[in-house]
Amino acid sequence: MNRGLLSLILLSSFLLLPQQQSQQQPIPTPLDRLKIFLGTFDVTQHYEKSSLFPAGEAHGLYRAHSGPGNFSYIADYWASGGPEGNISGQQVITWDAESAGLKRYTFGNKFTQAFITSGDWQGDALVFNGEFDFQGAKIHFNDTSTSGPGDTFTMKESFATGDAPLAAMLTMTAKRASPSGTATTSPAAAEGTPHADIAQRSGLQPPPAPTVKDLSPGMQRMAFLVGTWHYQQKFQKSGMTPDGGIGEGNYTAVVGPGGQSILTDFSESSGPMAGTSAHEIFTWDDKQSNYTGYSFVSNAPGCFTRSGAWQKDQLVFTREMTIQGQKFHMRFVYSLLAPDTITIETFTSLNDAPLTLSFSTSAKKQQ
């Protein structure tokens, strides 16, 4: 639990460095255009007969809202009845400054790592491309989404193996379920929210919410993180917080789709970082034997990653970022004092300077 909390807090405070101007940065236009997809939609997926799947049809729900600070777009989805069986996941789209384009991070119930695709607008179409290992083969995927009349949008997905041309895989049609089109205001796991409305409209019932017991073997050791927490912090006088200070906030963590991830959110209510928030997803990499955290924050676009592993009884995450030519190093050390209490020490440094303690956090589980 404390690993997620610490990482998010550290990330936010790093982005609040005086030389960083991200809080004044406007929302990138390509991301702003995603507003047409916000809200709750009933979806139908028509599968073409292909080498991947037989022909078929699936029904489900797609729900999207703006992420922290409107610098990201978060969508939860699920569908069932088709050739893929029950599918669910969460997607986060943000603006990637390095590539000057959109990046989409998909966390699904049937794969352990984030599926990262690159995209942008081509006229009125939102197009994403990426590669995915499927049953031992590397497959290229392309999907194109366009808005339609009457609060609808369509997404066409194609695939190709090797040098073969793209072949149609499925067409998803989505019709807005909420007459007002109002976006949801807080993230929710795709499998974690009962949707009586769609059950009435389609006769389908969403999959049951995953619980700690559903976590994959690699994620089991992070099970302590799941729950609602209140934390307090003590900031040292440093370049990040010149006057030091005391802060507090709230943190939540839920089991992600299929137990393959943990979805977390925090909001800072007081102190030097008051008003900041973030959404972070944790995954486990069997090959590397480590965790990855993908953070989306309220004061800058982009995805900020960190990696972590257990060192005896402590969970340690590290992150390195380059800002205006300078390397910023972060180290998060989590110590579990009791099943419902943790402490976190956050160390930072610039370039080759030694790491020093920037702030410490004490978190108490509420439920």
Residue 151 lies in a domain: yes
Among 35-49, 99-113, 320-334, the minimum mean pLDDT is found in 320-334
Tell me if 327 sits within 8 A of 321, measured CB to CB: yes
Which of 160, 178, 202 terminates a domain? The answer is: 202
pLDDT digits (tens, 9 = 90+) for 122-147: 999 999 999 988 777 789 999 999 99
**What whole-number distance in Å separates Cα of residue 357 and Cα of residue 308?**
18
Which SS3 state, helix, strand or coil, does residue 89 take?
strand
Output b/e per residue, 317-334; b: 16+ Cβ within 10 A.
bebeeeeeeeebbbbbbb
Same domain (yes/no): 177, 51: yes
Rounded to two decimals, what is the model's pTM?
Answer: 0.86
pLDDT at res. 6? 36
Same domain (yes/no): 198, 252: no
Which of 202, 231, 263 terminates a domain? The answer is: 202
Residue 207 lies in a domain: no
pLDDT digits (tens, 9 = 90+) for 173-230: 999 985 543 333 333 333 333 344 444 555 566 778 899 999 999 999 999 999 999 9
Same domain (yes/no): 15, 76: no
Same domain (yes/no): 183, 242: no
Same domain (yes/no): 47, 113: yes
pLDDT digits (tens, 9 = 90+) for 28-57: 556 788 988 999 999 999 999 998 899 999
Same domain (yes/no): 185, 239: no
Domain count, the chain: 2
Same domain (yes/no): 316, 171: no
pLDDT at res. 338? 83
pLDDT at res. 203? 57
pLDDT at res. 361? 93
**Element (DSSP H or E) covering residue 78:** strand 72-82
Please give the residue range of the domain that contains residue 295.
Answer: 2-20+212-365
> Which pair of structure tokens corresponds to residue 241?
């917080």
Same domain (yes/no): 193, 222: no
Same domain (yes/no): 195, 293: no
- Residues 91-120 have a mean pLDDT of 94
Same domain (yes/no): 34, 16: no
Which of 176, 202, 228 terminates a domain? The answer is: 202
Give the CATH number of the domain where residue 354 resides.
2.40.128.20
Same domain (yes/no): 177, 64: yes
